[in-house]
Structure 1
Amino acid sequence: MTKIEKVIFSGNTHTTVNRDPNAQRGEHGVVDIKLSAPGGENHEFIAAEPHPTAEQLFAGAWSACYITALGLAASLKKVALPADYSVDIQVDIGQTGPGWFLGAQFTIRMPGLAQDVAEAIAHSAHQICPYSKAVKGNIELGVKVVTV
């Protein structure tokens, strides 16, 4: 796997499970997409530019899949996720020499859970998520789990 030496562009997403249909969503001038995934939960993908790039769309699709896998991984471990858990994904496109590559950075927030429990759930979710499995070993992937 090649690491990106120079990032050319990044696409970012912030995904949560919104249980309040009246909650404030995207700000003026941004795309506000409600994603769905198997299992019936709706996921928020907000604050993308009005004309999303491929990196933003990939990050958005990956985040909807991953946050669903996160819920499944937690339920398999018999752990209740906090109501305000979320996933931020940054997908980078960049160069190393003349080659072009993708990279991704995950920030997974599970406030109130023990760090080791949250990290185990995050790792298990990558084993479940088809997007994570598809890119495993093919792109540089960083994962940060935040529990505070």
Structure 2
Amino acid sequence: MEKIEKVLASGNTHSTVNRDPKLQRGEFGVFDLKLTAPGVEDVEFIATEPHPTAEKLFAGAWSACYTTVFGIVASMKKVTLPVDYSVDITVNIGQTGAAWFLGAEFTVRVPGLAQDVVEELAHLTHQICPYSKSVRDNIEVSTRIVTV
């Protein structure tokens, strides 16, 4: 698998589970995008640009799926997640030589849980999430865990 040597464009997302539907965090020129999946809580993208790039759209769809599956995996493992857990994903498009590639960087924030527990949840989530499975061994994906 090739690694990106030069990033040309990026799409970033920040996903949280919205527990207060009246809470609006977008600012002028941006909006909060709420996505749902059957039988699970809403996932919210805070301050999304009105005309996102393809990288941001892919990061957003992947983030919604990954964040939802992360909650399901935690429930299966009997792990109670803090209300402020979140997932940030950056999808990069770039080049190595003349070839073009995608890459993804995850930051999984789960304050108060043990590092090894969150690492296990993140790994299992990548095994189950359809977006993670679809790019496995096709693009470079890194995952950073933050527990503070």
Question: TM-score higher than 0.5 here?
Answer: yes
Runs of 5+ in structure 1 lacking a partner? Answer: none
Q: Aligned to 1:103, what secondary structure does the other structure show?
A: strand
Larger deviation, residues 19-28 vs 104-113: 19-28
Distance in 1, matches of 2:42 and 2:11, equals 21
Partner of 1:76: 76
Moved more, 19-28 or 78-87: 19-28
Residues 118, 145 of structure 1: 8 Å contact kept: yes
Alignment check: 8 A CA contact 2:24 2:32 kept:
no
User: Does 1:49 find its partner at 2:49?
Assistant: yes
Q: Secondary structure at the match of 2:55?
A: helix
Structure-1-length-normalised TM-score? 0.96
Structure 1: how far apart are the matches of 2:66 and 2:137? Answer: 17
Matched with 1:66 is 66
TM-score, structure 2 length as denominator? 0.96
CA drift of 1:48 comes to: 2.5
After TM superposition, give the deviation of residue 14 of structure 1 in Å.
0.3
> CA 1:121–1:52 in structure 2 vs 1: closer, same or farther (change >3 Å)?
same
The letter of the residue matching 1:110 is V
Identity %: 71
Displacement of 1:24 in angstroms is 2.8
Whole-angstrom CA distance in 1 between matches of 2:103 and 2:57: 14
Runs (5+) with no aligned partner, structure 2: none
Deviation of 1:30 after TM superposition, in Å, equals 1.2
RMSD of aligned residue pairs (Cα, Å): 0.9
Report the counterpart of residue 101 of structure 2 in structure 1: 101
Q: For 1:46 and 1:22, how far apart are their aligned partners in 2?
A: 13
